[in-house]
C-alpha cells in the first residue's frame, strides 16, 4: 500500500499535468532503508522500526513524449536527503523553442507547498523566466484545501476535472508499471 501511495501520487501528478502523454518509460531502484514511524503519537511520528527494508522505489526516472508535438519529457525523483542545492523532483519538457522546468523539494505536487518552482527557458533570447500562478480567492486557504476548492470550482464551471474514466486510465497505467517493477525486482 505504501508504494501505491508514494509512486502513485508521484506518477498521477505527472499524468494529471500532461494529459497527452503518448509514451512513458520508467526505471527505478530501491537503495535506501526506511524508518517506519507511528504518526498516531504526533506530527513528527515515533520511529518504531529503524532501517527497515524498503519495498518502495526511492530512485525513479520517467521519460516519455507529449502529443501532438512529441516534445520530450524527463522526470527524476529520489528519496532521502537531496543533493545540496538541487531539487528532489526535477521535471523537464524540451521543445523546439526552449525548456519548461518544474523543480520541487516535494514529491507530492498535488499537495503543493513552498519551494515549488516553474520556469521557462527560451532558446531565442537565452533567458530563464519564473512562471507564477495567478492569485485567486482560494489562496487564503491551507494549500491542500486550495486544491479541493479549485477542483470543485472546475466541476461547477464544467471545466476539465478528473473523472472516473480518467482515474481508471491512471490506475491501469500504475498497474502496468507495478507489474513491470515486480517482474524485474523478484
Q: What is the pLDDT of residue 186?
A: 52
How are beta strands 89-95 and 117-122 bridged, if at all?
Answer: unpaired
Taking the C-alpha atoms of residue 150 and residue 88, their distance in angstroms, rounded to an integer, is 26
CB count in 10 Å sphere of residue 56: 17
Give the pLDDT confidence of 44-80 residue by residue, as tens digits.
889 999 999 887 778 878 777 877 778 887 777 777 7
Give the pLDDT confidence of 114-155 residue by residue, as tens digits.
788 999 999 999 999 999 888 899 999 988 888 889 999 999
CA 29 to chain centre: 17
Taking the C-alpha atoms of residue 35 and residue 25, their distance in angstroms, rounded to an integer, is 29
Beta bridge partners of 65: 23, 72
Give the pLDDT confidence of 148-166 residue by residue, as tens digits.
899 999 999 999 898 998 8
Whether 77 contacts 107, CB under 8 Å: yes
Amino acid at each position: 500500500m505504501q508504494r501505491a501511495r508514494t509512486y502513485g501520487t508521484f506518477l498521477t501528478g505527472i499524468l494529471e499535468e500532461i494529459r497527452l502523454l503518448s509514451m512513458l518509460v520508467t526505471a527505478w531502484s530501491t537503495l535506501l532503508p526506511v524508518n517506519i514511524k507511528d504518526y498516531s503519537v504526533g506530527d513528527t511520528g515515533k520511529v518504531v522500526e529503524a532501517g527497515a527494508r524498503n519495498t518502495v522505489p526511492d530512485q525513479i526516472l520517467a521519460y516519455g513524449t507529449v502529443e501532438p508535438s512529441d516534445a520530450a519529457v524527463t522526470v527524476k525523483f529520489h528519496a532521502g536527503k537531496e543533493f545540496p542545492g538541487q531539487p528532489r523532483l526535477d521535471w523537464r519538457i524540451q521543445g523546439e523553442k526552449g525548456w519548461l522546468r518544474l523543480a520541487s523539494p516535494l514529491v507530492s505536487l498535488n499537495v503543493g507547498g513552498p519551494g515549488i518552482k516553474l520556469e521557462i527557458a527560451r532558446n531565442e533570447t537565452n533567458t530563464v523566466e519564473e512562471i507564477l500562478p495567478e492569485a485567486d480567492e482560494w489562496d487564503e486557504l491551507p494549500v491542500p484545501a486550495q486544491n479541493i476548492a479549485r477542483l470543485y470550482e472546475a466541476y461547477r464551471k464544467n471545466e476539465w476535472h478528473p473523472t472516473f474514466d480518467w482515474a481508471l486510465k491512471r490506475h491501469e497505467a500504475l498497474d502496468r508499471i507495478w507489474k513491470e517493477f515486480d517482474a524485474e525486482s523478484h
